[in-house]
Amino acid sequence: MLRSKIGGIGYYVPEKVVTNHDLMKVMDTSDEWIQERTGIVERRYAKKHEETTATMGVEAAKIAIERAGITAKDVDMIIFATLSPDYYFPGSGVLLQRMLGMNGIGALDIRNQCSGFVYGLSIADQFVKTGMYKNVLLVGSEFHSCGLDFTTRGRNVSVIFGDGAGAVVIQPTDKENQGILSTHLHADGDGAEKLAYFNPGCHGGTFLDKEKFGYPDQEYGGIFLTDKMIEDEDIYPYMEGQAVFKFAVTKFPEVIMEALETNGYTKEDIDMLIPHQANLRISQFVQHRLKLPDNKVWNNIQKYGNTTAASIPIALCEAWEAGAVKEGDLVCLAAFGSGFTWASALLRW
């Protein structure tokens, strides 16, 4: 069987820098609180009415496609990972396809939040190593700032997230010791309501407090998005931060070790760990647990916040551009997020 590799990689972050001090102007928070609890100093916000999740994905994709030595016409399939799509449906994949003029190829939209990129990588890997496709474009892009609660009520979530996009082209390789060695995907739906964006949705309160959300008891319609949800502002992401934190610090080391053990490696063999940029404290906990030196873990949450599906490709691209990921290096990608979902991938660069 063939093996697949990352043949090209790119990222895009919007120009607008929003510092912790900027957020202090609109909500009751402090630079000290945000830095101490998350490590974040600033993040980027996309330009409303001009940029979207799809347009940011396009910018990242153009760079990845060029670096892969192909043109947009050579792409065989698109995989688009996001939790902040342009439309509820259709997914952002077809918008990217339209903008890049790649008519006719398949566009698969996936919804695995912070694990979206690694889930997407696993899907792309299967298509390439079976020989079905030669160039799969995988994009992770997020426009969080358009859907956050910027009042004090939403501060535990809003200060964490930022906008941006990353993309890779997955291609076959015939080199013996190169490419994606394995991917590992996991989920536990018991955590579904711990980090979620409930509305609009057709759950009709099934798993939630019906009184609180005001689901009308009518035969048809009316439960997708009600006036009461809007009045009560139940239209923002919900997160039980500490529960998420606890699960993350258990699952990150587990899934990294799973990837290493599957391939007969130990943690000492890792040249670079790219963790999903959820919280600097989570990354530091994982680094400490695995006893990895600073130069083997890439962190950029300080500059971009948590960009969900975009965070791993942005961090991987930055690390590669900085020369911190080189040919022959053993690179581990690891993610954790809403679902709960978690995943890892081990690559020989």
Binding stretches for ligand UT7 (CB under 6 A): 29-30, 33-34, 37-38, 114, 155-156, 159, 195, 241-242, 244-245, 248, 278-279, 282, 306, 337
Smallest separation, CB 128 to ligand UT7 (Å): 27
| Nearest residue to ligand UT7 on Cβ basis | 241
Residue 276 is among the residues annotated as catalytic for this protein:
yes
Q: Is 117 exposed, middle or buried (0-12, 13-18, 19+ CB in 10 A)?
A: buried
Out of 20, 112, 184, 276, which one is annotated catalytic? 276
List the catalytic residue out of 199, 306, 317, 332. Answer: 306
21 assigned to active site: no
Note the Cα 190 to chain centre separation in Å.
21
- Assess whether 114 carries a catalytic annotation: yes
For residue 157, the minimal CB distance to ligand UT7 (Å) is 7
Which residues form the catalytic set? Answer: 114, 276, 306
